Amino acid sequence: QVQLVESGGGLVQAGGSLRLSCASSGRPFTYYAMGWFRQAPGKEREFVAAISWTNTSIYYTDSVKGRFTISRDNAKNTVLLQMNSLKPEDTAVYYCAASRNTAQTMSKRSDDIDYWGKGTLVTVSS
Residue 57: per-residue pLDDT: 97
- pLDDT of 30-53, one tens digit each? 889 999 999 999 999 999 999 999
- Res. 26: pLDDT tops 90: no
In order of 7, 16, 116, 118, the CA distances from 64 in angstroms are 19, 14, 21, 22
Rounded mean pLDDT, 12-18: 98
Per-residue pLDDT at 1 exceeds 90: no
Report the b/e string of 65-95 with b at 16+ CB within 10 A.
Answer: eeebbbebebeebbbbbebeebeeebbbbbb
Q: pLDDT band at residue 29, thresholds of 50, 70 and 90?
A: confident
pLDDT digits (tens, 9 = 90+) for 76-115: 999 999 999 999 999 999 999 999 999 999 999 989 899 9
